[in-house]
Amino acid sequence: MKDDREYKRFRTLKAGRIIDPQGRTTLDCAIRDMSLTGARVQLVSAINIPEHFELLIVREDMIIPARRRWQRGTALGLEFTGPSRRLVGGR
């Protein structure tokens, strides 16, 4: 099967957190692969994710705005919607 993605995906296993738009709720996830434009994450449980949110890459203290592209059970595909930024003051 041909992959028509503009940017190559790289397999990874990083701890992540999905942060709701108001910043009140976080949900742990595992980042399974990433590219310059998006990622695939594995959720702890099958919960509906808002269309827009932020992805925190825990060990890198990096936050990236994102939107949900697809969700199948606990698997979630997301697209980055803006530039990443460092978490101010660390964790």
d(CA 44, CA 75): 9
Q: What is the DSSP letter of 58?
A: G
pLDDT one-digit tens code per residue, 22-66:
878 889 999 999 999 999 999 998 888 899 999 999 999 999 999
Q: Which residue has the tokens 């992805």?
A: 55
| pTM of the predicted model as reported, rounded to 2 decimal places | 0.85
What structural domains does the chain harbor?
10-83 (2.40.10.220)
